[in-house]
Structure 1
Amino acid sequence: MLIMVAMVLFVFFLSLAVMLISSLLAKKAIRDREKCSPFECGFDPKGSARLPFSLRFFLIAIIFLIFDVEITLLLPLVIVSKLITAHTWAATGIFFLLILLIGLYHEWNQGALEWSV
C-alpha cells in the first residue's frame, strides 16, 4: 500500500515538474485577436447565430455517428465470442450488420448521401 502511494506521488510530482519546465521554456508568442478567439466549426463566434446550416452536412454527420457507434458495438462481439457458441455469435453479428446495411441502402435510396447542391 505504501509503495502504491509513493508511486502515485512520484508520478504526480514528475508530471507537475514536466509541466512547469515546459511552461518556463515555451516560446512566448505575441497574442493577436484571431489566435485568442474560439474556433467553432468554421463559424464566426462574433457574428450572427442565425446563419443557415447545411442540412446535407448534418445528415452526413449523423450517418457517420451511426456507423461509428456500430463499430463500438461490434468490437465486443469478438470478446464475447469466447463465451458463447459460434453460431450465436455469427448470427448476432450478421443480423446487426444486416440492419445497418438496410439502413445505409435506405439513406442512399433517399438521396441523403448525395453532396451536390
Structure 2
Amino acid sequence: MLSDYIPILVMFVFVFGFAAFSLIITHIFGPRRAGREKLEPYESGMPPLGETHRRTSVKYYLFAMFFIIFDVEVIFLYPWAVIFKKYVADTPLILMEMFTFLIVLIVGLVYVWRKGGLEWE
C-alpha cells in the first residue's frame, strides 16, 4: 500500500532537491556588489519621484477576498453542472442540494451588499 506513494515521494524529493540546488548555485555564483543604484526601486527607467511606500486601501483587500470566495464557489458549481444530466434521472436530490448551495451563495452576496462591501467610495 505504501509502495503506491513511492513515485510521489521521489517527485517531492526531486523538486525540493532541484529548488535547493538552484538556490545554492545562484548564491555561490551570483554577483555580490550592492551599490546605491541597485538598492533603489526601479520605475520604468526613470528616477523615483516621491515616496515609494504608500498605504493600500483596505477596499482592495476586501474586494479581492470577495472575488476569491465567489470564484471558489463557481469552481464547485462546474463539476455539478457536468454530472447533472447523468444523475438527475436517478435522484432529484442533486437538484435540491445545488439549490441549497446557491441559496447560501445568494444570501452571502446579499449580506456583503447590504454591509456596503461592494461600494467603492
TM-score normalized by structure 1? 0.53
Question: Which one-letter code corresponds to 1:79 in the other structure?
Answer: V
Question: Which one-letter code corresponds to 1:52 in the other structure?
Answer: R
Question: Which one-letter code corresponds to 1:47 in the other structure?
Answer: T
Q: CA deviation at 1:80?
A: 2.8
Q: CA deviation at 1:63?
A: 0.9
- Tell me which of 100, 105, 108 is aligned to 2:105: 100
Q: CA deviation at 1:67?
A: 1.4
| Structure 1 equivalent of residue 116 of structure 2 | 111
**Greater relative CO (CA pairs within 8 A, separation 6+):** 1
| Structure 1 equivalent of residue 79 of structure 2 | 76
- Structure 2 gaps of 5+ residues are 1-41, 46-50
Question: Which one-letter code corresponds to 1:100 in the other structure?
Answer: L
| Structure 2 equivalent of residue 91 of structure 1 | 96
8 Å contact kept, 2:87–2:94: no
- For the aligned residue pairs, the C-alpha RMSD in angstroms reads 2.5
Question: Which one-letter code corresponds to 2:101 in the other structure?
Answer: F
**Does 2:52 correspond to 1:47?**
yes
Following superposition of structure 1 onto structure 2, how do residues 7-86 of structure 1 map, counting pairs within 5 Å? 34=43, 47-48=52-53, 51-81=54-84, 82-83=86-87, 85-86=90-91
Structure 2 counterpart SS, 1:114: coil
- Change beyond 3 A, Cα 1:79–1:86: farther
Question: Which one-letter code corresponds to 1:65 in the other structure?
Answer: I
Percent identity between the two aligned chains: 32
Question: Which one-letter code corresponds to 1:108 in the other structure?
Answer: W
Number of corresponding residues: 74
